[in-house]
């Protein structure tokens, strides 16, 4: 699932990564890749970098615990690499493979209505997160300023219908340890 939550830009491009920092003195950069396989970020061809007003061609050198170390065509020193820190890297949606059965791009989930199994309105999906223990959808609750993080699995999200613009959500039962609702 390439892309981060809500990271489809106005032109329909999907966020595939972000240049985090310069790496070393020869112009290499550290990239946070949002591709399922972090090294695959270099396989999509030139990536749009709207904030830099150009496209960037990455050649992946290695994957580390901190991110992907890559070279960018035309960047050969640390100063030039440092100037790219914070730049988001996008790909045209058409360049991504079609999602498989029961697979979804984050951008496809953002904005979907969240409804209970009985059809009652719960809210709207505002983000998809993964903090290391699996994907969570963040739902802005209807008639509330609160959001709820829900595990994105068959138990809590038994049905996703992108074409209909909705997902069915079974909210987790609060435990006594959760305390009173905050809001």
Query: What is the value of pTM for the model shown?
Result: 0.68
Tokens standing for residue 80: 């030039």
For the chain, give every residue range classified as CATH 2.40.30.60: 13-94
Is the pLDDT confidence value at 18 over 80? yes
- Say yes or no to pLDDT of 180 above 90: no
Give the CATH fold of the 110-174 domain: SH3 type barrels. (2.30.30)
Residue 11 burial (10 A CB sphere; 0-12, 13-18, 19+): exposed
pLDDT digits (tens, 9 = 90+) for 150-177: 999 999 999 999 889 999 999 877 655 5
Give start-end residues of each CATH 2.30.30.240 domain in the chain: 110-174
- pLDDT value for 175: 59
Fold category of 13-94 in CATH: Elongation Factor Tu (Ef-tu); domain 3 (2.40.30)
Least confident of 11-15, 87-91, 115-119, 142-146: 11-15
């Amino acid at each position: 699932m390439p892309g981060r939550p809500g990271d489809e830009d106005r032109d329909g491009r999907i966020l595939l990564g972000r240049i985090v920092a310069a790496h070393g003195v020869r112009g290499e950069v550290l990239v946070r890749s949002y591709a399922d396989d972090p090294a695959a970020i270099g396989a999509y061809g030139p990536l749009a970098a709207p904030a830099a007003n150009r496209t960037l061609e990455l050649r992946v050198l290695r994957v580390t615990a901190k991110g992907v170390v890559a070279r960018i065509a035309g960047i050969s020193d640390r100063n030039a690499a440092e100037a790219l820190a914070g730049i988001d890297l996008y790909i045209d949606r058409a360049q991504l493979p079609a999602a498989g059965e029961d697979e979804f791009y984050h951008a496809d989930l953002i904005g979907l209505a969240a409804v209970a199994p009985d059809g009652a309105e719960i809210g709207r999906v505002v983000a998809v997160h993964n903090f290391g223990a699996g994907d969570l959808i963040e739902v802005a609750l209807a008639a509330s300023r609160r959001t709820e993080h829900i595990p994105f699995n068959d138990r809590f999200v038994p049905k996703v219908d992108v074409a209909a613009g909705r997902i069915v959500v079974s909210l987790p039962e609060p435990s006594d340890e959760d305390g009173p609702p905050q809001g």
